[in-house]
A and B are shown apart, each in its own frame.
Chain A
């Protein structure tokens, strides 16, 4: 199964003190956590506009990575151009998903649509395995692989890219939903679709926009992790679930919550894998997910909505 490895080779841990090892695990955790957060943001965008959980989000991530690989190998583009092309491509896939599978069912309940996204994810994965095959591909690191020493531990330059991209995306999304009229109209459509129509907001356009946007964010996640882990047709399954987990821990729909959730999850996983056993890494994430869903489904930072009758 998929597992990013951002730390130094295993044997180097033996030369570190315990504190340095912990620091190394934390760095790895924050890196992986930033990826989870990015993926979780994709869940948030669609949820904010439609109250649908889009389980094809992981597939957006996979497509982002694989399209970048194709852009580089087939069109011989440098990474930045291949990446931009991939982001546009996945946005179009998002739009297509909305047009083909979500929009035709005008008055379906969210649960029906959620099940449709699960079907779509299986379909996309199948098509990807036909196009790209089942072997893994590698995207070269954006700015070299010379590790940067950090208090006795090391940071891979790519980790900084991952964290930077996650930060930029969360800030832009916050700006979009908090400051722009279109962003607010999107929120309005999610909470009161009928009233949104009555003020003249075109709901189906908002849904379309949310799918395009979350396609773009998902693709960005797939591209920045390309150099850290291999990209492969089935990487979306586990990544999608981890991203969902991040969104649930933080409180789905909450912009900072998903960052908190992703990084918490990344750190707990990394510490668990390092100190207990790497075999439990995924189990840890899902135990957390279940506990959250049982005891605090609105998330750590999420509030229950301000509703009043």
Chain B
């Protein structure tokens, strides 16, 4: 479904991605793991069209999308839940969701949009309770649900999730992860960036390990979980416990 071939990106003159290739198949959950600064978010933003891609190609199906504006990429069926959630805090929960369907309003799908809102509410009943609350007053977990719901309102074929569990209590993250698995069951393909590599790999089909702008490892998620190198670097196994005084 999504094929990223050999792309490079730059911030000013500093090269961030150095010839990265990944692919995501229809209905898969694919995890991107790697340390801070490895280029995970950069890759996601390049796919969303927020960054220009001077080298390489990104194909959605048979369609090249690496030269499209972010707006057209959303139209093509890729939505991103950005790191840090970036909800529209002065607006109400419901308005945030409606804006998620902004392009669909432009193509006059009023009734279907109302139905999509109900679907998001059934996925996150908490949001329904708070539908007229100002989004900035929600808790972190609720904001993450809202950001997810907002992205779903565009009815994406492919959902890019950037650190969905960042800064959330373990119980809340678990709930978010559960939702992600449910979303896949409903037919959404997911590319997931996650600090919590273990949780990410457990729910994914495949995974890529990014290091300083290149893919150093790719495999079935289960095999990555068993990989010694991955365990040492990202899963915190085999490390001697250190006690600070």
Contacts and interface: CB of A to CB of B under 8 A. Distances in A.
Do A and B interact? Answer: yes
B110 to A, nearest CB: 11
A199 B74 contact: yes
A135 interface: no
Given A198-B79, A198-B82, A181 B167 contact: no
Given A192-B87, A195-B86, A185 B74 contact: no
Interface string B83-110: 0101111110001001110110100000
Contacts of B98: 181, 184
Contact of B99 (A188, A202, A307): A188
A308 B140 contact: yes
B103 A187 contact: no
Contacts of A187: 88, 90-91
A1 interface: no
B75 A200 contact: yes
A202 B87 CA distance: 17
A76 interface: no
Contacts of B138: 308
Given A181-B99, A199-B100, A201-B99, A305 B89 contact: yes
A181 B103 CA distance: 11
A44 B134 CA distance: 20
A198 B80 contact: yes
A194 B84 CA distance: 11
Contacts of A194: 50, 82, 86
Given A184-B91, A195-B87, A308-B143, A200 B102 contact: yes
A187 B90 CA distance: 8
A192 B99 CA distance: 12
Contacts of B25: none
Given A181-B99, A184-B91, A202 B71 contact: yes
A168 interface: no
Contacts of A188: 88, 91, 99
Interface residues on B, range: 35 or more
Contacts, number: 88
Contacts of A181: 98-99, 102, 105
A197 B134 CA distance: 21
Interface in A191-212: 191-192, 194-202
B163 to A, nearest CB: 13
A191 B167 CA distance: 21
A306 interface: yes
B154 interface: yes
Nearest to A197: B70
A221 to B, nearest CB: 26
B136 A200 contact: no
Contacts of B102: 181, 185, 199-201
A198 B100 CA distance: 9
Contacts of A199: 74, 79, 99-100, 102-103, 150-151, 153-154
Given A185-B102, A199-B99, A305-B136, A191 B71 contact: no
Nearest to A184: B95
A75 interface: no
A309 interface: yes
Given A185-B99, A195-B86, A195-B88, A306 B74 contact: no
B195 interface: no
Shortest 5 CB-CB contacts between residues of A and residues of B: A306-B136, A195-B86, A200-B74, A200-B103, A197-B70
25 contacts: A181-B99, A187-B88, A188-B99, A192-B86, A192-B87, A192-B88, A192-B89, A195-B82, A195-B88, A196-B88, A198-B79, A199-B74, A199-B100, A199-B151, A200-B102, A200-B103, A202-B69, A306-B89, A306-B134, A307-B89, A308-B89, A308-B136, A308-B140, A308-B143, A309-B84
Interface of A: 181, 184-185, 187-188, 191-192, 194-202, 305-309
